[in-house]
Structure 1
Amino acid sequence: MVTTTPLSTSDTAGHAAQRADAATGDRISWVRLSSVLLPLATPVSDAKVLTGRQRPMTEVAFLFAEIATEEGHQGIGFSYSKRAGGPGQFAHASQIADQLLDEDPSDIGRIWTKLVWAGASVGRSGLATQAVAAFDVALWDLKAKRAGLPLAKLLGAHRDSVRCYNTSGGFLHTPTEEVLANATASLEAGIGGLKIKVGHPDSKRDLERVRAVREHVGDDVPLMVDANQQWDRPTARRMGRALEPFDLVWIEEPLDAYDAQGHAALAAALDTPVATGEMLASVAEHWELIRQGAADVIQPDAPRIGGITQFLKLAALAEHQQLQLAPHFAMEIHLHLAAAYPIEPWVEHFDWLEPLFNERLETGAGRMHIPARPGLGITLSDQARAWTQAEHEVGKRP
């Protein structure tokens, strides 16, 4: 007969701790930050330029974070800034990068909090958390790679592809004839929907452009418009009514991003759904939109709100209210996050970032497909290295 002695509670806890230590013994040993300046082939203008609030955009500044562990696992993430702020993101990230060393890369939530508090005197939104976002995305990429899964599968995908729409072909600086040609090219490339910019000081020109695109592509192609926050409340109501006949999927950012009350009133008054959220820089700011019923379609940007950890919190809030989801920009990240959202979402197609990576995302039949590659499925190209303005490393290079 074999006799066994029951383990005490303390023994059981000790064995569990030993198993946890064995499973998560890996530690972050190296971090590299890169400040990369992506030039745009043509200066880009939307309504903010035509109303004099901003200058045309000529470049996008990226903050890349590469993280490696003692056991050889690696991850890559990025944040970005348009027009201004890129050097500030890089400087902030450089000051807190050493906080990652010797941390367990699996403890992503705890690391996010640690990094935010390392720079808490400048706030828990905006530039500070956008710097943290690059690290956070890299840690999620690393975790999925270690599991041998695309990030969407690690998070729990609801689908293998996501509806996608093109934005980069419909900016206000682009002549209408070229917008129509771009629309044709996008549809032929397997992109399902089209978004064009509005918000011109002469509203008749907006309506003419929308009418031209709708007539060009037909009634069955999903079409969106984006006013980039340039209308006041009366103008938004008038334009919203005038745009109703074009059967739009949504009207984006009709009002100032922080005017939750105005967006809520507009959403209640129009049949066309109202979309907004891309310019907000925290979950708390998005919650105000959700709380007031200010958006039918929520458009968070993971790098802008602090990374994937924060995006997942926001997605849970949005799902609870049965909101549509259409993340802004950065399709290399947002494809995976949209695929894991229970309600059928959209993802925004921008080809601007393609020179930065060795891989390409595939589109077809109106959808963008999740790559089979583990993690985000991206690696930095030689061109990205050539566009690097500054680097900062901590720890031991693998």
Structure 2
Amino acid sequence: MNVNTKRTTHHADDHADDDAAGHAADLPDGDAATHPDTIRSVTLSSVRLPLGTPVSDAKVFTGRQQPMTEVALLFAELTTAQGHEGIGFGYSKRAGGPGQFAHAREVAPDLIGEDPNDIDRLWTKLVWAGASVGRSGLATQALAAFDVALWDLKARRAGLPLAKLLGAHRDSVRVYDTSGGFLHAPVEELVENASASLADGVGGIKIKVGHPDHREDLRRLTAVRERLGDDVPLMADANQQWDRPTALRMGRALEEFALVWLEEPLDAHDAQGHASLAAALDTPVATGEMLSSVAEHWELIRNDAADVIQPDAPRIGGITQFLKLAALAEHRHLQLAPHFAMEIHLHLAAAYPYEPWLEHFDWLEPLFEERLEISGGRMRLPARPGLGISLSEKARQWTVERCEFGDVP
């Protein structure tokens, strides 16, 4: 696969900042600790991760989407004048990857010469750099890779795992598996996948529902529950494909399975519908993964539309925005179960006051040199500083576009 490399230098009026940064790198250690550090370079990579098997959920069965065959990722690698480094990423499924890369490429030069400590200010600066395309959706998802990289850099500089920098409440997080429970898998495979995940140390299983034949959903859930027994935590996910009457009927039919939660029974933006459903069912209602701003999540929270909130840090703009949302969720005593990107969300879940759940997907593992440890139904925090990840050779091979800004080492 061809890799296009482009080197972009900063604007002339940034030279003074870069000169100061260069001098900071030469300072003795004691002086460097008090001298403001600056961002020296930014490298962006667009990566296409192929999936071994095309993946289908309810959105495919309703004809709204095609099976998923790859995940597009945007990586940002930062270096500073004092030699600190950080790496972050965002992603898109099915569409949007090239758009995220293009937007990130436009605003990346605005980071050169900036103090990497000022993460919230830099997020705001980048938002305003692209304000004409809004403050949610692709516009802010493109910023997530920068924001995550800045937090990774800060934690690495402190010599701490990110969760410890934020203030961890626990050293491990309950983990459930999703990657083996999609609708394209026959029921026999579904059951075997669930059993294998439990054998590997995962603590819960999520099954996709929303099949056009509702009896098929019940058959699949029955098969999994019978194989796993009543004590294994089980979740179901309709991926927004039911209308309000169907969600109520199916929600009542699923009560017998004692689900940990029923996920995305309605359109993600139907806060009132979710609120009515949550009030009518004994099963907790979970949603939020498809929302792309704190403001959108606040609509769920203030309407009591979710028992379990499922934010996705890359989708809402990064860790800075996630922390603001987590504070709102904590205030309302909500359960937390971040969506996807476990390499990031492990740290954020560990820092949430109430016992959360973490979603296990093995899809992204080939991109990184490291592996996260799972045992006894929980995922363990790595002792490595920052996020504790580094890009693999596979990630480099799957890079389809790359650009550099500033003085790249």
- Aligned equivalent of 2:56, options 23, 45, 51: 45
Alignment of structure 1 residues 375-386 onto 2, 5 Å: 375-386=386-397
Q: Answer whether contact 1:43 1:56 (CA < 8 A) is retained.
A: yes
* 1:20 Cα deviation after fit: 11
Structure 1 window deviating more from structure 2 (22-31 vs 144-153): it is 22-31
1:274 Cα deviation from its structure 2 partner:
0.1
Alpha-carbon deviations, 1:252-283, whole Å to 9, x = none?
Answer: 00000000000000000000000000000000
| Deviation of the 1:180 alpha carbon | 0.7
Q: Report the counterpart of residue 106 of structure 2 in structure 1.
A: 95
CA contact (8 A) 1:183 1:194 kept: yes
The aligned residue for residue 215 of structure 1 is: 226
Query: Residue 85 in 1 paired to residue 90 in 2?
Result: no
User: Equivalent residues in 2 for 1:206-285 (5 A)?
Assistant: 206-285=217-296
Deviation digits for residues 56-86 of structure 1, max 9, x if unmatched?
0000000000000001100000000000000
- 8 Å CA contact retained: 2:309, 2:334: yes
Alignment check: 8 A CA contact 1:149 1:374 kept: yes
- Measured after TM superposition, the shift of residue 23 of structure 1 is 2.5
Residue type of the alignment partner of 1:132: L
Q: After the TM superposition, which segments of 4 or more aligned residues of structure 1 sit over 4 Å from their partners?
A: 19-22
Q: Does the CA-based 8 Å contact 1:108-1:139 persist in structure 2?
A: yes
Residue ranges of structure 2 left out of the alignment (5+ in a row)? 1-29
Aligned to 2:352: 341
- Superposition deviation, residue 22 in structure 1: 5.9
- Give the TM-score taking structure 1 as reference length: 0.95
Give the corresponding residue for 2:76.
Answer: 65
**Conservation of the 8 A alpha-carbon contact between 2:32 and 2:82:** no
Name the aligned partner's letter for residue 224 of structure 2. Answer: V
CA offset at residue 129 of structure 1?
0.4
Where 1:34 maps in the other structure, the secondary structure is strand
Q: 1:145 to 1:45 in 2, by over 3 A?
A: same
CA distance in 2, matches of 1:104, 1:158: 29
Q: Which residue matches 2:159? A: 148
Please tell me whether residue 356 in structure 1 is matched to residue 367 in structure 2.
Answer: yes
- 1:105 has 2:116 as partner: yes
Distance 1:358 1:76 in 2: 13
Structure 2 counterparts to residues 105-124 of structure 1, below 5 A? 105-124=116-135
Structure-2 separation of matches of 1:335 and 1:349: 10
Question: For residues 184 and 256 of structure 1, what CA distance do their matches in structure 2 show?
Answer: 31
Q: Which amino acid aligns with 1:51?
A: T
Question: For the aligned residues, what is the CA RMSD?
Answer: 1.1
Aligned with 1:164 (options 151, 175, 187): 175
Aligned position for 1:6: none
Amino acid at match of 2:293: S
Question: Residue 200 of structure 1: SS of its match in structure 2?
Answer: coil
SS in 1 for 2:95: coil
Question: How far apart are the structure 1 equivalents of 2:191 and 2:248?
Answer: 27
* Partner secondary structure for residue 170 of structure 1: coil
CA–CA separation in structure 1 for the residues paired with 2:305 and 2:186: 32
Output the CA distance in 2 between the equivalents of 1:24 and 1:65: 25
- Cα distance between partner residues in 2 of 1:179 and 1:336: 29
Distance 2:130 2:206 in 1: 37
8 Å contact kept, 1:24–1:104: no
Cα drift, residue 113 of structure 1:
0.2
Distance (Å, rounded) in 1 between the aligned partners of 2:89 and 2:36: 26
3-state SS of 1:105 partner: coil
Do 1:164 and 1:193's aligned partners in 2 also have CA atoms closer than 8 Å?
Answer: yes
How far, CA to CA, are the matches of 2:371 and 2:358 in structure 1? Answer: 15
8 Å Cα contact 2:251-2:283 kept in structure 1: yes
8 Å CA contact 2:127–2:135 kept in 1: the answer is: yes
CA distance in structure 2 between the partners assigned to 1:259 and 1:201 by the alignment? 21
- Of 388, 393, 397 in structure 1, the residue corresponding to residue 399 of structure 2 is 388
Give the distance between the partners of 2:124 and 2:227, measured in 1 at CA. 50
CA drift of 1:298 comes to 0.1
- Per the normalisation by structure 2, the TM-score is 0.92
Match of 2:44 in 1: 33
One-letter amino acid matched to 2:400 = Q
Unaligned runs of 5+ in 1: 1-18
- For residues 407 and 200 of structure 2, the distance between their equivalents in structure 1, rounded to whole angstroms, comes to 43
